[in-house]
Amino acid sequence: MPDPADGANRYPVRMNYRHAFHAGNHADVLKHLVLVALLQALQRKPGALFVLDTHAGRGEYDLAADEAGRTGEAEDGVLRLQRAARVRRSSAHDGEQQVLPQVLLDYLDALRAANPDGGLTVYPGSPRLIAHRLRPQDRLAACELQPEEAGALRALFRGDARVGVHQRDGYQAMRALLPPKEKRGLVLIDPPYEAQLAEFDTVLAGLRDALERWPQGVYALWYPIKRRRELARVWRRVQALPCKSAWKAELLVRRDDSPLRLNGSGMLLLNPPWQLDADLAPALAEVHAALDLGGGSWEIEWLTRES
Ligand SMILES: C[S@@+](CC[C@H](N)C(=O)[O-])C[C@H]1O[C@@H](n2cnc3c(N)ncnc32)[C@H](O)[C@@H]1O
């Protein structure tokens, strides 16, 4: 009898998405920049953290592989950012210690850690970035539904007792694994949006349920932006969630006037750590300057503030 909580067989036809085609694109840059900054902020306190990565992917991606080469998305994303950062550093005046914002330096350091031989051929996905930062007291549960991706993920973390890999539906995992025994932690939700805007119905139901059971958890949701105005209704629904504070950080690399392409993306944060928005802002400005293809923008907007 299959475990009803295990969603491995529930999505046989819809699962076309492969992150290898998109790894290191502008959306990954935004998502992972925020993720690294979030972990950094949460780890200012020594208490153990639980991190749940609901849609984990395969853990790392080869930017020299056929999939990445066919789309060239990393070229306009992380590789472009890395070149821009190099130019900014080399043009710094003598005595100017730090030209790049700390949050951006931390993200670039995390990329370097995945590429110890130099260069940037391995792009670390969310579970690898999280695992890299785990302290001995912290724990990661990484969920991935697609069998091949889940297999690669399991192989990547074999022998690391702090990381549990689950081939299961990430939304079901939220119900099954929250609240965790640790008091503090983060849930990262990064679905492929194959259901387009309807994915938000599932996400918001999952967030409401999770907040009721684990109100002090921090929640981060990545979302795509084609036309920004189509998301206004979603933000009104977020404002009705039972959380103390919420803001979203967005990066657009083009004008948001075409429904056909990914013009940008955002990260919605519920219960974010104090000051994270201020720490992130200069890094977002820098990333936008490096990745803009014409008509793009960035912003951080509060949706709910603790009164
Ligand atoms: C955008 S990718 C994840 C990328 C990863 N979070 C990262 O940042 O490196 C989305 C992943 O979710 C997986 N997926 C799709 N539906 C899922 C579900 N219901 N539960 C868990 N994983 C799912 C897909 O196979 C895909 O690998």
pLDDT digits (tens, 9 = 90+) for 11-33: 444 578 999 999 999 999 999 99
Q: How many CB atoms lie within 10 A of CB 196?
A: 11
pLDDT digits (tens, 9 = 90+) for 203-213: 999 999 999 99
pLDDT tier, 93 (very low <50, low <70, confident <90, very high otherwise): low
CATH superfamily of 24-304: Vaccinia Virus protein VP39 (3.40.50.150)
Predicted model pTM: 0.94
| Cα 5 to middle of ligand 1, angstroms | 17
Confidence (pLDDT) at 67: 84
Residue whose CA lies nearest to ligand 1 atom number 19: 169
Pocket flag, ligand 1, residue 30 (CB < 6 Å): no
Q: Which two structure tokens, joined as six digits, stand for 152?
A: 């690669």
> Of the residues 52, 60, 145, which should be mutated to test ligand 1's pocket, given the most ligand atoms within 8 Å of the CB?
145
- Out of 190, 277, 279, 292, pick the active-site residue: 190
Pocket flag, ligand 1, residue 264 (CB < 6 Å): no
Residue whose CA lies nearest to ligand 1 atom number 6: 56
